[in-house]
């Protein structure tokens, strides 16, 4: 029995607390994000120009709401007006290159780009009917119209380079070269610019119809104090438990993620509160930053908002958004449960305590603020019953959010509170509209490029070639095809926003997984590529959420990213489960099958998390860690025999661990 008697001394408290003295400032976070994140490299406006830009951005958001809710012109008019205006504000915000910013500076070449680049879209908008009647035969032979297409596409390529980065452009460039080398020049330009399957395709249509409104809704909601409410709620529930601050980070990030749907934004918002608390408790900086990054990344898979890609999934699959959100619940719960288990094991390994109950908010003190949840409740109810469109539901939720802000005003006036940070004002409303416009730029630019990718694939018939290649390499084996798809998603996602990543993979790999040769269910295939596009935000070497967490924690970025990947191990396993057995997604199943697969998956996650942590009741030796890992994975593989074998392995190691711990605790004679 010597294999499991090996004793390991826990880290000394002084060693654990050594790096807990300080945390990163807002300036540290900004510096890291400017280094790694294109969205953080914006122009600097001050004084009167700042006010003008703010008003312009707010007007763009208002116009987007008008386009979505009121305008009844044909789709080509709405989309091209949206694209033209977005190019104007995009160049207004993003300079030529990183660090190439001077206060209140807009070079002449950028002014020319704004005018020349947006002209093709405005021309198309006001001549849409005539251009549609002309069709491919005339447009493909008209040099002026082909020149407009070239200018419009190149202008968006440049905007994408500035706001998103180069990786997605490598994909776009390769596919465009392939398209031009295999298909007629005029046909490719027509398909990519004038047709419904290119830049005006599903991604940008969904962005204009739904995503913009939800981004604006999230911006308004964040200004009502709901993030602080979620953090206080998580503190009251889990703050006093072992290693409480890390559990608070998991719970609050899951709740805040329902609102923001942004990995990096969620990390910065909640992490500025939770990471210092974790370090103060005794967690190392790289672990504290990793917990926040991993939990915040899960915000994009947490209903009801789930990030922009969920709306695209509804469009690609033709399923109601409310149905997509319902199917996402169980995988999301498993993801956050996996992180929760990991932080609990780490707290036990380090012997960390929770926070004093005296310094934690009381649940009864939070109940008067329950009205902050009203906008989310209204949104969920409206989307679920299907009586209104998603865009209308989000717009109504925005009005409710403003109403909640007014309630904050009344409450602070009645209580004579000096803290008015959550009160709604005209300037706060303008700030929210401005934030909504800024958040739209990168998403829309990425969606435009994703539309070009889809257009190239459609125009050239590349999908069938890719299908034959994947089937040939995988030999028709589902697990091999899934693994190849996972690698594609993660590699692409390291430099591409989740929205664009999902669009590209939904156009290329998802149909391959759904083919008869592979046989994955439609929604399972789409969720599979969706999940692995998201985890790229915490997967080295380009892990933006982890880098944001490391900046706050003042920890090494790569160590933080590696810890986040380990913590989010569920996100690398759960997609395989629902791809091989769609019962987890509530597809073609009965309730007891769902219960069984959830229970076996939870036990499996426990086994995997314990193996990675290396400590349960006592330190675990390498052999038992391998057994726990094998047993955990076995329980997560669909099948009765794999569940039984996994249960025996995990249960056996747990019992041996407990027995060994009891024996060590017995007083020696």
Q: How does DSSP classify residue 10?
A: P
Give Cβ neighbours of residue 495 (< 8 Å, ≥ 6 apart): 165, 166, 167, 168, 542
Instruction: Please confirm whether the linkage preceding 304 is cis (ω < 30° from 0).
Output: yes
Q: Report how far residue 196's alpha carbon sits from residue 459's, in angstroms, rounded to the nearest whole number.
A: 11
3-state secondary structure of 282: coil
Helix then strand count (H, E) for the chain reads 32, 0
Q: pLDDT tens digit string along 166-222?
A: 878 888 999 899 999 888 888 999 999 998 888 998 889 988 888 888 888 888 888
| 246 pLDDT more than 70 | yes
Q: pLDDT tens digit string along 324-355?
A: 888 888 888 888 888 888 888 888 887 777 77
Under 8 Å between Cβ of 223 and 424 = yes
Q: Could you tell me which residues are beta bridge partners of residue 615?
A: 619
Q: Could you tell me which residues are beta bridge partners of residue 619?
A: 615
Q: What is the pTM of this model?
A: 0.81
- Alpha-carbon 366 to chain mean position: 28
Read off the tokens for 507.
């156009």
Q: pLDDT tens digit string along 100-156?
A: 668 888 999 999 999 999 999 999 999 999 998 888 889 988 999 999 999 999 999
Q: pLDDT tens digit string along 543-582?
A: 778 888 888 888 888 888 888 888 888 888 888 888 888 8
Q: Could you tell me which residues are beta bridge partners of residue 391?
A: none
Is the Cα dihedral 300, 306, 311, 317 positive or negative?
A: positive
Between the two ends of the chain, the Cα-to-Cα distance in Å is 21
Q: pLDDT tens digit string along 549-558?
A: 888 888 888 8
Q: Report how far residue 62's alpha carbon sits from residue 437's, in angstroms, rounded to the nearest whole number.
A: 9
Q: Report how far residue 328's alpha carbon sits from residue 326's, in angstroms, rounded to the nearest whole number.
A: 5
């Amino acid at each position: 029995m010597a294999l499991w008697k090996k004793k390991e001394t826990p880290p000394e408290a002084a060693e654990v607390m050594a790096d807990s003295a300080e945390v990163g400032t807002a300036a540290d976070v900004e510096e890291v994000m400017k280094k790694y994140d294109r969205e953080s490299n914006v122009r600097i406006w001050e004084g009167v120009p700042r006010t003008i830009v703010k008003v312009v951005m707010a007007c763009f958001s208002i116009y987007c709401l008008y386009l979505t809710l009121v305008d009844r012109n044909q789709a080509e008019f709405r989309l091209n007006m949206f694209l033209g205006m977005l190019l104007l504000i995009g160049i207004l915000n993003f300079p030529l290159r990183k660090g190439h910013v001077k206060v209140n500076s807009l070079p002449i070449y950028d002014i020319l780009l704004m005018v020349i680049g947006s002209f093709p879209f405005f021309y198309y908008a006001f001549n849409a009917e005539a251009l549609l009647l002309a069709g491919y035969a005339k447009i493909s032979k008209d040099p002026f119209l082909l020149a407009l297409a070239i200018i419009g596409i190149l202008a968006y390529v440049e905007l994408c380079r500035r706001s998103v980065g180069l990786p997605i452009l490598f994909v776009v460039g390769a596919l465009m070269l392939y398209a031009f080398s295999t298909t007629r020049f005029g046909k490719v330009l027509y398909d990519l610019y004038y047709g419904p399957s290119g830049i005006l395709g599903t991604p940008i249509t969904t962005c204009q119809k739904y995503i913009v409104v939800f981004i604006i809704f999230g911006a308004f909601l964040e200004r009502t104090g709901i993030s602080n409410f979620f953090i206080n709620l998580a503190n009251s529930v889990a703050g006093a438990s072992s290693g409480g601050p890390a559990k608070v980070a998991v719970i609050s990030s899951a709740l805040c993620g329902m609102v923001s749907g942004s990995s990096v934004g969620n990390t910065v918002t909640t992490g500025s509160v939770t990471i210092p608390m974790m370090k103060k408790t005794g967690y190392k900086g790289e672990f504290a930053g990793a917990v926040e990054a991993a939990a915040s990344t899960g915000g994009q898979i947490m209903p009801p908002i789930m990030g922009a890609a969920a709306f695209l999934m509804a469009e690609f699959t033709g399923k109601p958004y409310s149905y997509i959100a319902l199917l996402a619940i169980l995988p999301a719960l498993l993801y956050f449960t996996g992180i929760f288990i990991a932080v609990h094991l780490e707290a036990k390994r380090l012997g960390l305590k929770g926070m004093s109950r005296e310094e934690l908010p009381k649940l009864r003190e939070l109940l008067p603020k329950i009205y902050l949840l009203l906008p989310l409740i209204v949104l969920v109810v409206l989307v679920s019953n299907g009586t209104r469109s998603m865009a209308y539901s989000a717009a109504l939720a925005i009005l409710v959010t403003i109403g909640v802000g007014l309630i904050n005003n009344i409450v602070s006036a009645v209580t004579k509170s000096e803290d008015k940070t959550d009160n709604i004002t005209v300037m706060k409303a303008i700030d929210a509209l401005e934030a909504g416009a800024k958040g739209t730029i990168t998403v829309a630019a990425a969606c435009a490029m994703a539309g070009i990718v889809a257009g190239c694939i459609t125009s050239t018939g590349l999908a069938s070639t890719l299908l034959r290649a994947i089937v040939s390499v995988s030999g028709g084996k589902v697990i091999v095809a899934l693994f190849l798809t996972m690698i594609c998603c993660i590699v692409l996602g390291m430099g591409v926003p989740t929205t664009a990543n999902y669009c590209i993979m939904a156009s290329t790999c998802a149909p391959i997984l759904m083919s008869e040769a592979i046989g994955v269910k439609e929604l399972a295939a789409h969720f599979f590529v969706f999940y692995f596009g998201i985890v790229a935000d915490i997967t080295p070497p380009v892990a933006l959420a982890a880098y944001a967490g490391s900046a706050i924690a003042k920890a090494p970025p790569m160590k933080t990213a590696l810890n986040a990947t380990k913590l989010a191990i569920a996100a690398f396993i759960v997609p395989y489960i629902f791809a091989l057995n769609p019962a987890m997604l509530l597809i073609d199943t009965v309730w007891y099958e769902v219960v069984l697969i959830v229970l076996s998956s939870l036990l499996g996650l426990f086994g995997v998390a314990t193996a990675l942590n290396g400590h349960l009741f006592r330190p675990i030796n390498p052999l038992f860690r391998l057994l726990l890992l094998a047993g955990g994975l076995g329980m997560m593989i669909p099948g009765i025999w794999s569940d039984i074998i996994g249960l025996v392995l995990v249960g056996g190691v747990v019992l041996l661990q407990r027995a060994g711990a009891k024996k060590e605790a017995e007083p020696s004679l």
